[in-house]
Structure 1
Amino acid sequence: MFSRLIPRRCFKVWYLLVVVYQSFCLFRYHQVADGTGASQFMNAWASACKGLPLSSIRHDRAALMPRDQPTPTFDHIEYVIPLPKPDAEVTSNNRPVATKKIRFSFDMVKKIQSKAVKENDERGFPTYSTFESLTGHLWRCITKARGLSGDIETRTTIICDVRRRLTPSISEDYYGNAIFRSCARTLVTQLTEEPLSYAAGVVHASIKRLDNDYIRSAIDYIEHRRQNTASFGRPLSTVLSPDLKVTSWLQMPLYKLDFGWGTPVYAGPSYVPFEGLIILNTSHTQDGSVDAILTLFEDDMAKFENICFEVPN
């Protein structure tokens, strides 16, 4: 229903911002700013509406510039798009896609995290964050719901804010795009047969890999690709299966926004353009619950809903 808020016409000019009053819909160009930047913008907008002073921001992009001679030092698989299966688009063309918001209560989130951490303690490994544990759980459940099996590789691309990962770190008041990808990958058999801690561990390792050296290499890699490739980016595919893409809005205070008439009852995407995307967001209940907004084929979604709250003891 939220897709109705987006004007259905071809823009002759691509606007940086489109606002539709009634429910309150934003359309923004992601290359201008990431989620943190969008949050800064909306906070400033809300403050302006209430006559409050605005916080200062920085636009200096120097910290994210490539070296004079871009020299990647790592293999950046997160920016290499896997070749689609020959029959993937054909078999999926007639399958309707569903977008749903699945709420994981505070108790359920802690149960999932505790399960991953307990299994890790038994192996002597480090603990995992809420994001890592829940992402691992969703990855396993969705893979099972999709009916995948065997030695098929499955990837989860995770969108990471690197402001605090660079040396020196980027100031928190930086307005721009400071997100990079990490790629967690494994085989379907391992993901579904190993315990939850395995999936959380694969996610954890992929995020931990994003240190200063890796990010600097990624910047050079992107610049090198930009200079040598006419079109750089994901092909226009609407299906990610057997893969996923996960982004976290958990640090964005969307439900604390107040333009003068109170806080929102829903804050989230109006439209999800492809199968296999997960957005983790705080719940409007503000009690520690997490909303997983995800898009799957309808028949896979039904299977997912039947198993997503099952956490083995």
Structure 2
Amino acid sequence: MEMELISRETIKPSTATPPHLRNYPLCFIDHIVFRNYIPVLFFYSPNLRSNNHQTSSKISTLKKSLSQVLSRYYPFAGKLKDQLSIECNDQGVSFLVTSFRCNLSWILHNPTHASFNPLFPDELQWNPMKTTSTIVAIQINCFACGGIAISVCMCHKVGDAATLSNFVNDWAAFNRQNEKQEQLPFPVPGASFFPQENLPVFPEAAFVKNDTVCRRFVFEAAKIDSLKAMVSSRNVPNPTRVEVVSALIYKRAVSSLGLTFKTTAFRTAVNLRNRTVPPLPEKSVGNLVWFLFVSNAREETELHELVLKMKHGLSEFCDTYGKKFGGKNKDSGFITECLKQATAAPEPRGSDAEREESLLCCASWCRFAMYEADFGWGKPVWFTTSECPVKNSIVLMDTRDGEGMEALVNMEEHAMAKFERDVELLQYASLNPSVPHASLTI
């Protein structure tokens, strides 16, 4: 794709951050999180009457609304002061505008990560933040047909995918101009619930980049229903979409790569917002997640057994982390041990091959309001993210209808060559299909 950079500027908050808010403390989970960027990408179909004047007007409105929402998310316009805080100096966020000569349909009919890369600002996706970079960077990509793709990269240090989803949706609400600023709830800092206080300061967890390839697997709603029916029983009532898809990917990865469940654990990130006692506000800002590990003492395990382990594991997770991380049952000793384990270097175990393939990592972005991000031109026709350079990592997302799921799986090339050909996996998932409805909306 031939790209032209139209403009590059810095957008600052519409109102200055008051002095008493200039130092923004990070929560005790934030302080161990690495400083790489989380990338998100929203595709919008062209209006039938789209023209250059309308596109310019849209960009002008986007700048104004971004400035307004940054007054709410004022830490995003600051700079990282140290491992524990942000200096909210209103320096602003990077805002790029580009133009492409191709139509949006060119990408949507054949979505590849190679075609996504130019759509992100300064190739920041999943890369570490530099001292001169802004906490948030945005790129508005304009296509010949009038379609638009908006990419946002946010430093992981200041928040998780839920934080980023809330930020984009609040920006979209301001941009629609039918929500007044005072009607939107003010985001709540994660440190209000998970303060650092006297906890030890541990080093940031390492973000190990590998030479990986990424494949997109799409699970239609009917296929997910089949998986649910297959594992449902008295012991496994009402399995969720995330549970059955996660379990299937885990099982097929272990099988196709010649591993065993005994030596291969499954780690999934769990959103703490609705699992603490009491629950945290939906618009809490920060890395308000912790990790659930699923492992097995046996070398082979059936799918329904994996789903059951996930259910039991989540229940135990809520009874421990959900209660001991905050509230009246907060346990500082427990928190300290969790942070220590999360930042400790992995201990050698077994052969090199076994050590390399001992963990599959999953993050579910399902039920986040990514497809609600309507800037006034309709909801996104598609939402996705960039390939992640962490091997054996999986990101789960909703399809546009909210019933199916997309899984972005990242593996080393030799492992992916086996996994993407797994017959049992492909009974339920399609490998990189065109984006639904693209031909009808463009």
User: Cα gap change, 1:243/1:187 in structure 2, threshold over 3 Å: closer, same or farther?
Assistant: farther
- TM-score w.r.t. the length of structure 1 is 0.76
CA distance in 1, matches of 2:278, 2:195: 13
Q: Is the 8 A contact 1:240 1:274 kept in 2?
A: no
How much has 1:205 moved relative to structure 2? Answer: 2.1
1:15-94 equivalences under 5 Å are: 15-22=134-141, 23-53=149-179, 54=181, 55-60=184-189, 61-65=191-195
Q: In the alignment, which residue of structure 2 is the partner of 1:268? A: 384
Question: Looking at both structures, which has the greater relative contact order when contacts are Cα pairs under 8 Å and sequence separation is at least 6?
Answer: 1
- Picking from 274, 291, 295, the partner of 1:164 is 274
Q: Deviations over 1:257-289 (max 9, x none)?
A: 1223333233221231211111111113x1622
Assess, with a 3 A threshold, how the Cα gap between structure 1 residues 267 and 287 changes in structure 2: closer, same or farther: closer
Superposed displacement of residue 139, structure 1: 0.2
Give 1:17 shift.
0.2
Q: After superposition, what is the alpha-carbon deviation per residue over 1:278-307, rounded to whole angstroms, capped at 9, x for unaligned?
A: 1111113x1622111111223432332332
Q: Name which of 197, 214, 222 aligns with 2:321.
A: 214
Conservation of the 8 A alpha-carbon contact between 1:241 and 1:275: no
- Radius of gyration: which is bigger? 2
Equivalence for 1:189: 299
Q: Deviation per CA, 1:116-158: give whole Å up to 9, x if none.
A: 11xx33xx45442221111111100111121214x74211111
Fraction of identical pairs, as percent: 18
CA distance in 2, matches of 1:278, 1:291: 10
Is the CA contact 1:137–1:200 (under 8 Å) kept in the aligned structure 2?
no
The answer to whether structure 1 residue 309 and structure 2 residue 413 are counterparts is no
Corresponding residue number in structure 1 for 2:257: 146
Aligned partner of 2:246 in structure 1 is 135
Measured in 2, the distance between the counterparts of 1:218 and 1:115 equals 36
Given the alignment of the two structures, is residue 3 of structure 1 paired with residue 117 of structure 2, yes or no?
yes
- Aligned counterpart for 1:176 among listed residues 276, 283, 286: 286
One-letter amino acid of the structure 1 residue matched with residue 251 of structure 2: R
Structure 1 residue 216: deviation in Å?
4.7
Task: Give SS of 1:21's match.
Answer: strand
Distance 1:218 1:153, change over 3 A: farther
Number of residue pairs the alignment of both structures matches: 278
- Displacement of 1:175 in angstroms is 2.8
Equivalent-residue separation in structure 1 for 2:388 and 2:399 (angstroms): 18
Q: Secondary structure at the match of 1:159?
A: strand
**Of 331, 349, 358, which aligns to 1:242?**
358
- 2:394 maps to which of 278, 284, 287: 278
Structure 1 stretches lacking a partner, 5+ long: 71-79, 82-88
Instruction: Look up the match of 1:74.
Output: none
Q: Per residue, is there more strand in 1 or in 2?
A: 2
Q: Taking structure 2 as the reference length, what is the TM-score of the superposition?
A: 0.56
CA distance in 1 between counterparts of 2:345 and 2:382 reads 30
2:220 maps to 1:98: no
2:236 and 2:169 map into 1 onto residues whose CA distance is 39
CA contact (8 A) 1:155 1:242 kept: yes
Please tell me whether the aligned partners of residues 145 and 304 of structure 1 are also in contact (alpha carbons under 8 angstroms): yes
- Tell me if the contact between 2:199 and 2:336 (Cα under 8 Å) persists in the aligned partners: no
Q: Give the match's secondary structure for 1:206.
A: helix
Unaligned stretches of 5+ residues in structure 2: 1-113, 142-148, 327-331, 347-354, 429-442
Cα contact 1:161–1:178 (8 A) shared by 2: yes
| Aligned 8 A contact 1:154 1:242 in 2 | yes
